[in-house]
Structure 1
């Protein structure tokens, strides 16, 4: 008996029944067999040794296949667990998933691992690679799987098996003296895993629940080539140098204090940057037809029950009681905007109505997930809600995209990626409403010619959303802008408008943000610029450096002229060397330094230095100030 499979070039191959991906690759050529890692059969990633099915379209997976990097990292996580079990036989293994840029594995050990343990474990991993151990899959019944892991003394694996839904295939993989529970697939041999690095250690509660056992988590990464790994580690070092928590402290932008966990205190310089961001967005609101509003921070719980937040979001909200009434700190602005819309009658001629709100929001985030400015408990969004007719959705979407592009161009973000997040399991509304909302967003994206991917189940509880990711200077993706179509909240608040024929219509509510949380955006921007903000955003735009006491009078005059033009300038008249003053200004990432000596004071000029471009030469004071004013006004990068 023979079977026939179709290759990616649509050519056909006949093989004996029971043939595997290994047989297919070997029949094509020894070079392909040597490079083979797995197969894709009808689009599904499978082990190289999996039997081929008659009629399937089969691709041999090599390092050039996009999915292969995740496969390598998944198998390297197992390699890590294998090495740990060899070195620490009493260790109990947890789970070892692939994550962005790498993998981790959790272990239950008597003594938590330390950084000094990583080179030892890594050396053992390399020994296992050198042994070239075959990796073999085995399908198990539930009872057999439980019995096997009980006999191995692996209680965490027993718990995982017990949680697998009835009817799902349970499989395990062996490589020599190591056996692990896993869906797979994996590389066929440990010799395929040659480029990896263990990076760090952290504590992690089993299943993320602080009531469970604390485990020791080892993070690592893996690549196909050493160059890829070296480039990645170099980017990590650069990212460490750009860490906004580190730079925020060094530049005096913000601080955190235990009296207000995960809630930033913005210092004068940080507040200056923050307010410039708000001012910029406000100018765009005027240009794009938004009306800014202010709404209360604390409102009756009844409001949040009407909106659906109490039912779907209560675990992330803060509550308080006064005069026997229960209130909640607002986690979102949308219900307050619905109250405002409902205070008067609206005609179709009034729509679209765009409410923008910089109100402070509060959401409870677990202490284990808070992270500098990028995950906080109190924040402000460049938040807006658009009330429009169903027919106006496309036009509002187009306007939103124009606004988005203008903002991201200003900050120098490139490579925008777009994803459509669809209905979550826990949601409001009928399938028909969700069909209409998801269809409206998909149609608008298609008509705009914008490619997008799907994030199934990742929408908000009240509607689907489009999410916009940008790449920063280190090519790291950050999700910023969002647009959500909401048919439910206008219904729950009974919002209406008078249509052209005199009948009542229900508006559609669009939730949108460009920067998102200003706190989070500021953290991203600090890392994107390495703290060297463009001149229009810099807390101090110019520092004036007189060389001698004789130049102080003119330096003071320069300071006055700069401030009169709205330039944020300061004067460093300390009795320090010019070299020391320049270095300090460079560390503070001030865009421009004006060096003034006797000749400059006499001629009314300034010697200009730029933090990146160095010496720009002697310039007339008026000319320099005019150039800087234009640079700031145009928000040049």
Structure 2
């Protein structure tokens, strides 16, 4: 079955679900019900609050409708006839959608007593639908507007065959166990609360340590690649973002300006205008280029509350941002180096597969982009040339470019086969023009090219991704607590403190558990907290100055000397090994 046929099947399945809901819950009004990746959903205005048990009832009713092999019948109406038709049915949301359609022929699909405003196409009859499952219930504002009614959204899955469906269901069950919104609080890494505000993250001590390790590592990696570290403030005059174009093209994602001394100031949504001003602080020679500025810069962007998602979609986040100012002749090599940097990161963190997307300008909507057409074509060709000459497979997405230039997005596949957007490399010829950037060349003054790039994407998002990728079991070099030292009785406390002190002196991150609790409880809690190693100290270990090393799989390695344990853990952490080195 072709993908378009599968999408048709999924959309038809959405109609059957809606028909079942209206039969089971009379008075339900219809929102919209599109096919989406892996399935479909439908939004309902229903006086009954759906429950997980209702999903089973709805599925049963759907199977009855499927067994009846009811045709999908397309009716053509004028706009006036369609208004009258849906008015009689009390479908107020469909009437609102109708108002936005131009005069002319309207198509309505009938499935028995069920009717929907729809362009189609659909399968021939309900009997063509199979391999589906209803999975979740969520709230969704009508038209995504927080000021409009909250509807109930039911999500469903639909696949070509039963094996695909079962495999995806199994993956989703595993994903639920790995969900960073669940594991983050359980592992005491971060929290989000209403006093601080939605989309704003509080990193707890363990999350703070994880973040520090990531930030220290990425800073060193940048410095080794010739980047200079810079820092910029969290606010600036709105005028800066008017020059850059963000105030015009990006205003929907910016918080409202504040007034300071009669002037408007903007909390920053981007770091790039600040880096431009650093470049402009001195006259640059072609001999100075490329200049590479790197900053872990915190930015703030307005996201609708319904779009917020743990660490993955937030309102305040820190980008591992960098901007490269180079000559036109240098740009392809800089883009290539950025791509190689991304590959190094993926390998370090154990991401073995990835997908590359080239996002370009949409010629049909020039109002969404700034700059000359010829500049866009040159930039897109430069990125395409880098990918093709390095034999990197990619797909092209027209209209997905940033307003100031095309970009390469890299998505990584995690341990259970899901793709995550991480690294991005963006070509920018507009900001150098808008800010009148120059460098001195032998033949006179010229305009530099600017490359934006973020390797992690953002620190918060990257942490969310790796929590799920590792299921909370971080490799030793990343683990906030690398070893839990547990004692059997109070008699072992002095030795336990000595062990902890020597480990800290070696640069490791141990944590003591000397509570008067049963040893089994302490070991179990260490495991639940995903601590890589539990170091058990009983009477024998304290007397012999040894340790019993307990691995995450429950295996115990007895009689290990303290110096040997420290040396082995240091070797594992320093090499950033993804597997434990104790045998």
Equivalent-residue separation in structure 1 for 2:374 and 2:383 (angstroms): 15
**Superposed displacement of residue 203, structure 1:** 2.6
SS at match of 2:90: coil
Correspondence for 2:111: 175
Matches of residues 3-22 of structure 1 in structure 2 within 5 Å? none
Residue 123 (structure 2) pairs with residue 192 (structure 1): no
Q: Taking structure 2 as the reference length, what is the TM-score of the superposition?
A: 0.94
Correspondence for 1:27: none
**Superposed displacement of residue 165, structure 1:** 4.8
The structure, 1 or 2, with the larger RCO (C-alpha pairs under 8 Å, 6+ apart) is 2
Equivalent-residue separation in structure 2 for 1:213 and 1:609 (angstroms): 54
Correspondence for 1:79: 16
SS at match of 2:250: helix
Pairing partner for 1:605 from 535, 542, 546? 546
Equivalent-residue separation in structure 2 for 1:498 and 1:571 (angstroms): 60
SS at match of 2:329: helix
**Superposed displacement of residue 140, structure 1:** 4.3
Larger deviation, residues 69-78 vs 384-393: 69-78
**Which runs of 5 or more structure 2 residues have no equivalent in the other structure?**
579-583
Matches of residues 381-392 of structure 1 in structure 2 within 5 Å? 381-392=319-330
SS at match of 1:349: helix
Pairing partner for 2:262 from 319, 324, 329? 324
1:97-118: CA deviations, max 9, x gaps? 1223321111223444343432
Correspondence for 1:24: none
Larger deviation, residues 490-499 vs 79-88: 79-88
Correspondence for 1:485: 427
Q: How many residues align?
A: 572
Equivalent-residue separation in structure 2 for 1:215 and 1:69 (angstroms): 26
Correspondence for 2:573: 632
Q: Taking structure 1 as the reference length, what is the TM-score of the superposition?
A: 0.86
Residue 418 (structure 2) pairs with residue 476 (structure 1): yes
Residue 237 (structure 2) pairs with residue 237 (structure 1): no
Matches of residues 290-329 of structure 1 in structure 2 within 5 Å? 290-318=227-255, 319-329=257-267
SS at match of 2:516: coil
Matches of residues 56-455 of structure 1 in structure 2 within 5 Å? 62=1, 65-165=2-102, 170-261=106-197, 262-318=199-255, 319-423=257-361, 425=365, 426-455=368-397
- Check whether the contact 2:108–2:117 (CA below 8 A) recurs between aligned residues: yes
1:248-283: CA deviations, max 9, x gaps? 111111112222212111111110001111011011
**Superposed displacement of residue 379, structure 1:** 1.0
**Superposed displacement of residue 609, structure 1:** 1.2
SS at match of 1:358: strand
Equivalent-residue separation in structure 2 for 1:81 and 1:565 (angstroms): 63
Structure 1 residues 551, 174: closer, same or farther in 2, change over 3 A? same
Larger deviation, residues 482-491 vs 182-191: 182-191
Equivalent-residue separation in structure 2 for 1:275 and 1:193 (angstroms): 51
Correspondence for 1:516: 457
Residue 528 (structure 2) pairs with residue 590 (structure 1): no
**Superposed displacement of residue 174, structure 1:** 2.5
Which has the larger Rg? 1
Structure 1 residues 393, 613: closer, same or farther in 2, change over 3 A? farther
Equivalent-residue separation in structure 2 for 1:139 and 1:438 (angstroms): 43
**Superposed displacement of residue 144, structure 1:** 4.1
Equivalent-residue separation in structure 2 for 1:555 and 1:132 (angstroms): 71
1:487-531: CA deviations, max 9, x gaps? 000000000001232x11101110100101111111111111111
Equivalent-residue separation in structure 2 for 1:133 and 1:514 (angstroms): 52
Equivalent-residue separation in structure 2 for 1:238 and 1:317 (angstroms): 36
Equivalent-residue separation in structure 2 for 1:442 and 1:627 (angstroms): 45
SS at match of 1:557: helix
**Superposed displacement of residue 436, structure 1:** 1.6
1:48-93: CA deviations, max 9, x gaps? xxxxxxxxxxxxxx3xx34443332211101111112222342222
SS at match of 1:482: strand
**Superposed displacement of residue 143, structure 1:** 4.0
SS at match of 2:137: strand
Structure 1 residues 423, 634: closer, same or farther in 2, change over 3 A? same
**Superposed displacement of residue 545, structure 1:** 1.9
**Which runs of 5 or more structure 1 residues have no equivalent in the other structure?**
1-61
Pairing partner for 2:407 from 442, 451, 465? 465
Equivalent-residue separation in structure 1 for 2:465 and 2:573 (angstroms): 21
Equivalent-residue separation in structure 1 for 2:107 and 2:556 (angstroms): 66
Residue 504 (structure 2) pairs with residue 563 (structure 1): yes
Structure 1 residues 170, 433: closer, same or farther in 2, change over 3 A? farther
SS at match of 1:174: strand
**Superposed displacement of residue 450, structure 1:** 0.9
**Superposed displacement of residue 303, structure 1:** 0.6
Correspondence for 1:496: 438
